[in-house]
Amino acid sequence: MTEREPNSDQHGARGGSDTAAPRHGEGQFVIRPAKAGELPAIRRLIGLYPDELVQDELPRVSSFFVAESDGSIIGCCALQVYSRRLAEVRSLAIHPDHRGKGVAAQLVDACRRRGIERRVRQLFAVTSEPGFFEGCGFTVHTGWKTALFSNLDPGS
Ligand SMILES: CC(C)(COP(=O)(O)OP(=O)(O)OC[C@H]1O[C@@H](n2cnc3c(N)ncnc32)[C@H](O)[C@@H]1OP(=O)(O)O)[C@@H](O)C(=O)NCCC(=O)NCCS
C-alpha cells in the first residue's frame, strides 16, 4: 500500500499543513519527534499489539514521532527512509485508551511531512489495517513496480 504522490492535491485526506512544528490535536495531545531515551516507552506501546506489530529490530528513535498526553506517550509511528524513492510508515500504535481521537492520523501526517522535507517520492505501509491507511491517502499500488513477498516460514 503506497501513498499518492506527495505533491498531489489528493494526498493526506486528513492531512494539514506541511509545517514540522508539533501540533495540538482535537484532544489534549501533542505530536512531536521522539527524544533520545524514549525507546523503552515506545517499545511498551508497541508491545501492547504483539499480533499486529513487529517487536524486534525497531527503527531508531530518531525515526519516530510520538503523541504525548499528560506527560505520557500514548502513540508512536516511525518513518523509515530507504532511499529518495521510498520510505516506510511503520510501528504505528495508539494506546487503547486514546484510540478514535485522530492520534494515528496526525502521526501518519507527521511522517508524510517529514517524507516531503526529505524529498522522498513515495511512502508505503505493510499493514493489517488497510482501511485506516486508505483514509490517510494511501492506495493499493498499481504503478510501475509491484511489491512481492516470498514466505520463508511455512508456519506463518
Ligand atoms: C489502527 C490504529 C493505529 C488507529 O489509531 P486511532 O488513533 O484510533 O485512529 P484515528 O483516530 O487517527 O482514526 C482516523 C480515522 O481512521 C479511521 N480508522 C481508525 N481505525 C481504522 C481501521 N482499523 N479501519 C478503518 N478505518 C479506521 C477512524 O474512524 C478515523 O476516521 P474519520 O477521520 O473518518 O473519523 C489503532 O487502532 C492501533 O494502534 N491499532 C493497533 C496497532 C495497529 O494495528 N497498528 C497498525 C498496523 S501497521
In tens, the pLDDT along 122-151 reads 999 999 999 999 999 999 988 788 888 899
Map residue 46 onto helix, strand or coil: helix
pTM of the model as a whole: 0.87
* Ligand 1 atom showing the smallest separation from residue 103 Cα: 7
96 is in which domain, residue-wise?
A: 18-120
Longest alpha-carbon distance in the chain: 45
- Asked whether the predicted pLDDT for residue 68 surpasses 90, the reply is yes
Does a structural domain hold residue 22? yes
> Does 135 contact ligand 1 (Cβ within 6 A)?
yes
Best residue for ligand 1 mutational test, from 132, 133, 136, 138 (most atoms within 8 Å of Cβ): 132
Does a structural domain hold residue 156? no
Number of domains in the chain: 1
Q: How many residues does the chain have?
A: 156
What is the grid cell recorded at 153? 516460514
Does a structural domain hold residue 140? no
What is the grid cell recorded at 69? 498526553
